[in-house]
C-alpha cells in the first residue's frame, strides 16, 4: 500500500474507534471517516460501520491489489475533549491546515501518553468520580429524593465507581465490572438504610448506578434504527441488554445476600415517580446530571457550563410542555427538537459536534431507569415491569426522533442562510458540510442527514 493510503487508513481507523467509543451513531461515524479519507486524497475508498466494526476498502489501482481493512471498535465512554480535537482535526484536514501525518501523530501520541496513561490515571479517576457523584445527586433530585437519600446517592456513586474501576483494572469483562458496581450499590444502600431513617433504598441504588444505566447507548441505538443502520442498532441493543444485565445481576445478588439480615423491611424495588417535586428542584437536578456527566466525560470550562445549562433548559421545556397539557412523551419529543436545533447552532462556539453536546443535554430524560427497573422487576415478579420496558423504548425513540429533527431543521436553516449569504459563520461548523472545502462533494441530496453535524 502506498504510504499516503497507509497513513489515511490508519488515521480513519483511530478516528472511527474514538467516535464509536464516544457513542457516535454509525451514520455520523461513516460521514466523518468519508470526509477524512477524501480530505487525505483517497477519493475511491469506501467506509462501512456495522456493530462496532469499521470496514475500510479501496479498489485495485493498476497493478496494485484491492485493499480491505477491518477493525473492531467496542463501545466505551464519551470523551468530550477527544471529540473536540477530532472536530478541529477534521476541519484542519479538510482546509489543508494540517497534513494526514500530523493528525495521525497527534492521535497516536494521545494513545500512548494521553488520559489512559499511568501518570494521568489517578487524576482521571478522581475527576470521573466527582462527576458521577454529581450525577447521582442530580438523579436523586429529579426523582424527589430526601436530603438524606441525596447525600447517600452522592457517596454511593463514588463507591460504585471505585468497584467498577477496580474490576476494570483487573481486566475483568465489562459485565462483571458492572455487577460489582451493582453489588456495591446494594450493600451501601442497605447500610445507609440501617443508619438513616428516611433513606430511600431503591432510589439510592438507582441513583448510584445512574451513570451506567442505558442512556447514550440507547439513544445511539434508536438513532441508528431511525437512520436505517439496523445491524448497528442491533449491536447497540445487545450492548444495552448485556450492560443492564450486569447491573441487575449485581443488584439481585446483593438483595439475596442481604435478605437474611433485613428480611422484607427494606424496599429494594419500588416505582420511582417524582410526585410533588418543585420545578426548581427538578431543574437543579437536571443541571447536575448533565454537568456531572460532562465533567466525567472530560468536559471543562465554558463547555461544561454550557452543557449543564442545556440540561436544565431541556428539563424546563418538558415541564412547560406538560403544564400546557401535553403528554410526557410528546413533551420529551418537543424538548428534544428544540435542544437538537440549539446544539447545531451552538456547535461552532462550543467546538463540539452537536450530537455529543445534545446527548449530554438530553441525559436527564434518558430511559435507563425504566429499562433497569423493568429487567429487575421481571426477575422478582413485580407487576408492571413490562410497562417499564415499553416506556423506556418509547422514551428513547422520542429523544432520538426529536433530536434528529431538530438537527435537520437547524442544518437546513444554515444551508438556506449560507445560500442567501446571511450566515457569516456557517463555515465554522465543519461537519454541517461533510465535504469540507471540496466543492464537488457539497451537493448532497437535501433529503439526507449527512450534512448535519453529528
Between the CA of residue 58 and those of 2, 13, 30, 50, what are the distances in Å?
12, 14, 15, 18
**Domain range annotation of the chain:** 4-109, 123-408
3-state SS of 217-284 is: HHHHHHHHHHCCCHHHHHHHHHHHHHHHHHHHHHHHHHHHHHHHHHCCCCCCCCCCCCCCCCHHHHHH
Lowest mean pLDDT among 66-70, 300-304, 416-420: 416-420
Could you give the CA distance from residue 225 to residue 122 in angstroms, rounded to a whole number? 38
Average pLDDT over residues 448-453: 40
Place of cell 464519551: 78
The band of 51, judged by pLDDT with boundaries at 50, 70 and 90, is low
Average pLDDT of the chain, as a whole number: 81
- Residue 74: what pLDDT? 67
Residues linked to residue 69 through DSSP beta bridges, in sequence order: 56
Kindly report the pTM of this predicted structure. 0.81
Closest CA to 370 of 337, 338, 395, 349: 395
Place of cell 438556506: 416
Between the CA of residue 352 and those of 34, 273, 343, 357, 359, what are the distances in Å?
19, 34, 9, 7, 12
Kindly report the backbone phi and psi dihedral angles of residue 61, in degrees, each rounded to the nearest multiple of 5, phi listed first: -125, 110
C-alpha angle with apex 301: 339 to 434, nearest 5 degrees? 50
Give the model confidence (pLDDT) of 417-434 as tens digits. Answer: 767 665 554 444 434 443
Give the model confidence (pLDDT) of 30-41 as tens digits. Answer: 888 888 888 888
The band of 23, judged by pLDDT with boundaries at 50, 70 and 90, is low
Max CA separation in the chain (angstroms): 78
With 70 as the cut, is the pLDDT of residue 111 above it? no
For residue 50, the surrounding DSSP H or E stretch is: strand 46-50
Average pLDDT over residues 215-228: 76
The band of 11, judged by pLDDT with boundaries at 50, 70 and 90, is confident
Amino acid at each position: 500500500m502506498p504510504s499516503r493510503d497507509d497513513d489515511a487508513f490508519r488515521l480513519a481507523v483511530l478516528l472511527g474507534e474514538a467516535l464509536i467509543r464516544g457513542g457516535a451513531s454509525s451514520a455520523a461515524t461513516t460521514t466523518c471517516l468519508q470526509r477524512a479519507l477524501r480530505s487525505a486524497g483517497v477519493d475511491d475508498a469506501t467506509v462501512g460501520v456495522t456493530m462496532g466494526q469499521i470496514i475500510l476498502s479501496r479498489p485495485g489501482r493498476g497493478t496494485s491489489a484491492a485493499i480491505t481493512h477491518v477493525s473492531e471498535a467496542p463501545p466505551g465512554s464519551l470523551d468530550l475533549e477527544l471529540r473536540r480535537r477530532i472536530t478541529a482535526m477534521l476541519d484542519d484536514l479538510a482546509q489543508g491546515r494540517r497534513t494526514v501525518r500530523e493528525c495521525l501523530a497527534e492521535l497516536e501520541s494521545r494513545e500512548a501518553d494521553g488520559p489512559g496513561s499511568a501518570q494521568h490515571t489517578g487524576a482521571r479517576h478522581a475527576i470521573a468520580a466527582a462527576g458521577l457523584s454529581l450525577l447521582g445527586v442530580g438523579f436523586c433530585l429529579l426523582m424527589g429524593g430526601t436530603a438524606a437519600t441525596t447525600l447517600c446517592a452522592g457517596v454511593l456513586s463514588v463507591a460504585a465507581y471505585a468497584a467498577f474501576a477496580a474490576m476494570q483494572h483487573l481486566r475483568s469483562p465489562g459485565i462483571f465490572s458492572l455487577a460489582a458496581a451493582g453489588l456495591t450499590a446494594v450493600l451501601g444502600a442497605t447500610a445507609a438504610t440501617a443508619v438513616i431513617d428516611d433513606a430511600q433504598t431503591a432510589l439510592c441504588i438507582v441513583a448510584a448506578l445512574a451513570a451506567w444505566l442505558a442512556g447514550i447507548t440507547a439513544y445511539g441505538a434508536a438513532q441508528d434504527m431511525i437512520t436505517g443502520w439496523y445491524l448497528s442498532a442491533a449491536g447497540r441493543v445487545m450492548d444495552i441488554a448485556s450492560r443492564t444485565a450486569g447491573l441487575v445481576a449485581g443488584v439481585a445478588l446483593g438483595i439475596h445476600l442481604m435478605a437474611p439480615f433485613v428480611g422484607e423491611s427494606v424496599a429494594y424495588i419500588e416505582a420511582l415517580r417524582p410526585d410533588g417535586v418543585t420545578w426548581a428542584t427538578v431543574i437543579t437536578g437536571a443541571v447536575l446530571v448533565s454537568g456531572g456527566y460532562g465533567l466525567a466525560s472530560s468536559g471543562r470550562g465554558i463547555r461544561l457550563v454550557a452543557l449543564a445549562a442545556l440540561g436544565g433548559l431541556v428539563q424546563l421545556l418538558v415541564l412547560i410542555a406538560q403544564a400546557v397539557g401535553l403528554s410526557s412523551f410528546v413533551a420529551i419529543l418537543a424538548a428534544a427538537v428544540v435542544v437538537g436545533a440549539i446544539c447545531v447552532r451552538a456547535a461552532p462556539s462550543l467546538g463540539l459536534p452537536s450530537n455529543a453536546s445534545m446527548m449530554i443535554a438530553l441525559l436527564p430524560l434518558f430511559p435507563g431507569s425504566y429499562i433497569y427497573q423493568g429487567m429487575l422487576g421481571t426477575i422478582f415478579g413485580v407487576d408492571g415491569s413490562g410497562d417499564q420496558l415499553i416506556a423506556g423504548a418509547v422514551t428513547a425513540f422520542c429523544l432520538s426522533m426529536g433530536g434528529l429533527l431538530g438537527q435537520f431543521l437547524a442544518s437546513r436553516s444554515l444551508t438556506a442562510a449560507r445560500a442567501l449569504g446571511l450566515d457569516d459563520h456557517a463555515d465554522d461548523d465543519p461537519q454541517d458540510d461533510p465535504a469540507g472545502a471540496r466543492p464537488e462533494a457539497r451537493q448532497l441530496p437535501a433529503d439526507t442527514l449527512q450534512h448535519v453535524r453529528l
